[in-house]
Structure 1
Amino acid sequence: MDIGGFFLRLFFFIFGGIFGYPMDEQIGKLPGQPHVNFRQFSGYIDVDGKAGRSLFYYLVEAENDPMNLPLTVWLTGGPGCSSVGDSFISVGPFTTSNNAHCLQRNPHSWIKVSNILFIDSPIGVGWSYSKTSSDYQVGDDSTNEDLLAFILQWFDKYPNFKSRDLYLAGSSYAGHFIPNLGNTLLDYNKQSNDLKFNIKGLALGNPLLRSKLDILALYELFWSRGMINKDLHQQILKECDGIDEDNYSNNATNWSESCQQAMDKAELIAFNVTSIPEAKARHFDILRSTCDGKWEDLNLEKEVIKITYEVDMCLPFRAEFYLNIPEVQKAFHGNRTNLEYQWRGCFENSGLNYSAADRAIDMLPALKQILQHSIPVTIFSGEEDGVVPTIGTLKHVKKLAKDMNLNLTKDEAWNHENKDGGWKYSYENLLTFMTVKGANHHVTLSKPSQALFIFTNIVLNRTR
C-alpha cells in the first residue's frame, strides 16, 4: 500500500474545500494516460433537483500557473454533441492512441494558456441527463437557463475561479449557445451584488449564425470551387429565392420542392456520389473523405487511422471508442445512469429533440449586444467546411460590422509557422474574422496549431 499517497489523498479530502476545489471530483488518472503535471476534475451539477436534471462537466487546469490564468468555457455544437468528448479531438489535453486504448498529450491543447471547462449541454448530450422525459424537448432558451444554473453552482463549487478572466468559446451550434450565455451572464452582472462574471472575450469556430443563409452558402462554395457549374448555382438562387443578408427571417426554413431538387442535384454532382446521405456526410470536410474505421478492429487493439492532407479523419471515431471503455467511464465519474445504449460523440438515441425553429434564429443581434459591452468577438472559420461555409460567415460578419458602424482596420493575409494561415478581417480591434486554410468544420481538430495560435494571440492577448 502507498502510505504516502494515502495520507496525501486524505489531506486533500479533508482540506480540499479550503483550497476551493472538490477533491472528491478530481480524476486520479485516466486509463492509458501519460504522466502529467496538471489536475483534472469531473462530475455532475444538478441544475434542477426536482426534475432530476444534471449536466456533466470536465475541468482541466492550465499546465503552468493555473491559479493566475483565465478560465475558458468550451461548448460544442450539434446541437447534441458532447463537449467532454470533443475535448479529446480538439482543445483538450489528450488525444487517443491509434488503437484507441491509450492517451497521448495534445501538443496544441489550449491548457497551455488557460484553464478549460467542458460542459455537456443540453440535456441528453454526453453524460448529461434528466429523470423527466419532457426535459429532452429542448431549445435555445431551456439550454441557456440550464447553463446559467450550472455556472452559478459550479462557481460555488470552485470559488477560486470566481474572479478570473472568463472566456466563452465553442464551435458550430455554439454560435447560438455562446452568445446567448454571454448575454445572460452580462444581464446577471447587472442585478448581482456579489458575483460578477469577468467576461473578456468570445471565440467562435465555424459558428452557425444565420442557418438559412449558411445552407445556401454551401452551393455558392460549390460553385466557387468549380464543383458545380454556374447554371446550376443560378438555378438554386432562383428556386430558393427570398433570403438575403438584409431580409433574414427567424422562421424555420421550408424549401420548395423545386429548390430542394436543385440542391440535391448539386450535392450529387459536387461529390460525384449517387446518394444524398453520402454527399451530406462530406459536408464536414469537402476536401477529405470520411473515416471508414471498424469498431471490431479497435476491439482487437488494431490501429485505425486515415490521414488525408495532414488530418487524421478517424480521430473522432477513436475518441468515441475510448469513452465507451467501462474503466474510462469509471475514472471519469461519468455515466452514473448506466446508459442502455452506446455513448456517442453526437447522440442519436438519447431522446434529445432540439427545436428546429431555434436553429433558424438570427444570432447577429445577440452578438451585437456582446460587442456593445466592448467585449471582443473572434470568429475563425475553416475554408474546407461545407456545414457552415466561410463564404457565408464572412457576409454575416460584414453585415454585423456595418450595422454597428465598425470600420475595417485590417484586411490582410496571416501566417503561421512561415505558412499561409488564411485571411484576417479586423474591425476596430473589437470584431475579428479569420479564415483558416485547409481546415474543416472543426478547426481545432483539423488545424489545431493554427487554432491555438488564434486563441493565444488574437483572443487572449488582445484583451489582456
Structure 2
Amino acid sequence: MAPPISGIQQQIGMEMEAQLTKAGNNGKYVARMWLHLLLLLLLSVTATSRTVVETLPGFSDTLPFKLETGYVAVGETDDLQLFYYFIESQRNPVKDPLVLWLTGGPGCSALSGLLYEIGPITFDYDTFNGSSPALVVNPYAWTEVANIIFLDAPVGTGFSYSESTEGYYSSDTKSPYAIYLFLRKWLLDHPKYLKNPLYIAGDSYSGVIVPQVTLLISDGNIAGSNPSMNLLGYMLGNPVTDQHGDENSRVKYYHRLTLISDDLYESVNVNCNGEFVNPDITNSSCLDDIGIIAECTMKVNDAQILEPKCSFASPRPKTMNWGRKFFDDIPDEIIQSPTKREEKWCRNNNYVLSYMWANDEIVQKTLGVRNGTILDWKRCNKSLAYDSDLNTVVHYHQELLKRGYRALIYSGDHDMMIPYVGTQAWIAYLSLPLVDGWRPWFVDGQIAGFTEKYSTTKGDGLTFATVKGGGHTAPEYKPQQCLEMADRWMSYYAL
C-alpha cells in the first residue's frame, strides 16, 4: 500500500537531509534533481488503479496465471497515465525475479511483447477464420520463471495516455524518467516484490531506454530514495545502441550472410572508406556500390532474412541510412478485412489479430481500459510526438558494468535491422576482459546459438549470445531457446 499522506512530509525531510549530506556542496544540484523527482513521486503515490483479470475474451477457461492490469500516474501533475500488465511467475513468485519488460518501437505496445514474444498466452493462428481471435497458452513464456511487468511506454503507446497535450511529447531522454517513476510507484503499491531480484529488459528500440532506466534506478538507490530496489542488472535483445555503428554494420552483415558478393564488399570498403551511412556525396564510386547493395537487399525481410517480405511493406530508400525504428505498416484495409489478407503468408499477417482483439470493446473493458481514452489501439504507433535525441547509449553500458550490474545482450542472428556484428562492435569497444570465449550453447542437445562472456572489476559481467535462426525480436522466432537462455542467465548458470 502507498504510505499515508501524514507520513509524506516526514519522508521528504528525512531524504532531503540524507541526500544533501551525501552530495556535499559540489553535488547540491544533483541532489536537488533527485529530490524533485522524489517529491513528485511522494505527492502522488496514491494515483494508481488496478484490475485483477481472471478471464479473457478468446480464452476458453479461467486464466492459469495471475494477471493484473492498471494505470500508474506520473509526471509533474500526474497527467501521464501509464498502462501495465503484470503477470505473476507461475513457478515461485516469492523468489523468482521481477522483470520490467519494455517493448521497442518506440511506440510498440506491451501487448506485442506479451502476445508475440514472452507472455503466457498467444493467438491460435491455426483456427483463425477471420472472426474473433482465439487465445492459447504459450508453453515457452518467460512468466514460467519470472514475475513480469509489461509496460506501455512512452505515453501514446498501447493504452497509455495523457490528460494534457504536453504529456504526449516524449523523447529518448524524457521517457526513461517517466518509466523510472512508474516503477517506484508500482513497487510502493506492490511492496511484496521489493525483495525479488529486479531486471530491466526489452528488445529493439528499448536498447536506448533500458540502460537509462537501469542507471536511474541505480542512482536512486545510491541516493537513498524510497523504495530501495533490488536491482541486479538488465537484458536486451537486438538492441538499438549506437545509431551510426548499428546502421554502418549492415554492410558487413550482408557480406557474412552472402547477400552481397566478395568483390562488391571489397569494392565498397575501399571506395567508401568504411563509411556507408553518411558517404561523401561527391564520391560516385562509393554511391554506385551502395546503390548495388541496396538493389541486392531491399527485397529481403529486414527482421528475419529467411522469411518472406510482405508485399505491402514500405520500400526502403537506396541508401544505408534507413533509420533505427522498426515496424512495418499494415494497411487499414487488411486490418479491417482480415479474411482478404494475402494468400502468401508473411509474419505481419499474425499482427492483424492483435488489432482485432485489442480494439474490441469487451476486451478493453475486461482489461480495465478507461472508456474513451484510446480510440484506435495500434500495435506500433507511428504518430508519436517523439524525439530520438540520443545517438548512442554505449556510455550507459560502461557505467552500469563499472558499478557491477549484470548484463545479458542477445541477438537473433538473422536480423539485418540491428545486426549482431554491430552489437559485437560496441561490446568490443567496452574493452572488457574475455573470460569465456566463443562457443556454442545448446537446448535439447541442439546448438541454439553461440555465446561469450566478459568480466568486470566487480559483479558478474556481460554475457553476449546469438540465437540461431532468430529474427529481430528473437523470442518471437525461437521461443523455447530464448526461455532457456533467460532462465539460465537469471539463475546464474552458464549458457
With normalisation by structure 2, the TM-score equals 0.77
**Contact 1:88/1:94, CA 8 A, preserved across alignment:** yes
Amino acid in the other structure paired with 1:29: T
Matched, 1:326 2:345: no
Instruction: Please say if residues 152 and 160 of structure 2, whose CA atoms lie closer than 8 Å, have aligned partners that are also in contact.
Output: yes
Shift of the 438–143 alpha-carbon distance from structure 1 to 2, 3 Å rule, reads same
Amino acid at match of 1:343: W
Deviates more, 1:330-339 or 1:67-76: 330-339
Task: Report whether the alignment pairs 1:158 with 2:190.
Answer: yes
Q: Structure 2: which 5+ runs fail to align?
A: 1-47, 312-329
Q: Deviations over 1:414-434 (max 9, x none)?
A: 111121211111123511111
Partner of 2:146: 114
Give the equivalent residue in structure 1 for 2:396. 366
Query: Could you list the per-position Cα deviations for residues 217-237 of structure 1 after superposition, in whole angstroms to 9, with x for gaps in the alignment?
Result: 112111122211234334544
CA contact (8 A) 2:173 2:389 kept: no
Superposed CA deviations along residues 219-269 of structure 1, whole A, max 9, x for unmatched, are 21111222112343345445655769xxxxxxxx75554667654531221
- Between the aligned partners of 1:438 and 1:185, the Cα distance in structure 2 is 34
> Alignment partner of 1:357: what SS?
coil
Task: Evaluate the alpha carbon distance shift between residue 217 and residue 387 of structure 1 in structure 2; reply closer, same or farther with a 3 A threshold.
Answer: same
Q: Are positions 1:348 and 2:379 aligned together?
A: no
Query: 1:70-81 alignment to 2 at 5 Å?
Result: 70-81=97-108
Q: By how many angstroms is 1:85 displaced?
A: 2.8
The 8 Å contact of residues 72 and 115 in structure 1, kept in 2 or not, is answered as yes
Letter in 2 for 1:283: D
Q: Matches of 2:95 and 2:104 in 1, distance apart?
A: 29
Aligned-pair CA distance for 1:439: 0.5
Q: Which has the higher contact order (CA 8 A, sep 6+)?
A: 1
**Corresponding position of 2:489:** 458
Report 1:196-235 matches (<5 A). 196-235=228-267
Q: Answer whether contact 2:80 2:161 (CA < 8 A) is retained.
A: yes
Of 412, 422, 439, the residue aligned with 2:439 is 412
| Match in the other structure for 2:54 | 28
Cα deviation, residue 129, structure 1 = 1.7
Separation in 1, partners of 2:343, 2:417: 21
Q: Does 1:65 align with 2:75?
A: no
SS at match of 1:354: strand
- Decide which moves more: 235-244 or 173-182: 235-244
| SS of 2:476 mapped into structure 1 | helix
Residue of structure 1 in register with 2:462 after alignment: 431
Contact kept? 1:206, 1:390, Cα under 8 Å:
yes
Q: Distance in 1 between matches of 2:105 and 2:491?
A: 26
Change (3 A) 1:427 1:101: same
Q: Relative to 1, partners in 2 of residues 1:194 and 1:53: Cα closer, same or farther, differing over 3 Å?
A: closer
Report the equivalent of 1:397. 427
RMSD: 3.0
Change over 3 Å in CA distance of 1:237–1:322 after alignment to 2: farther
Gaps of 5+ in 1: 1-21, 245-252, 274-278
Aligned residues: percent identity? Answer: 26
Q: Is the 8 A contact 1:305 1:312 kept in 2?
A: no
Counterpart-to-counterpart distance in 1, 2:76 and 2:234: 31
Aligned partner letter, 1:393 = T
SS at match of 1:384: coil
CA deviation string 1:13-40 (max 9, x = no partner): xxxxxxxxx9951113110124333210
Instruction: List aligned pairs for 1:140-159, cutoff 5 A.
Output: 140-159=172-191
Number of residue pairs matched? Answer: 417
Name the SS of the counterpart of 1:367 in structure 2: helix
Aligned partner of 2:31 in structure 1 is none
Query: Quick one: which amino acid aligns to residue 376 of structure 1?
Result: R
Choose the corresponding residue for 1:378, options 380, 401, 408.
408
Which amino acid in the other structure matches residue 419 of structure 1? Q
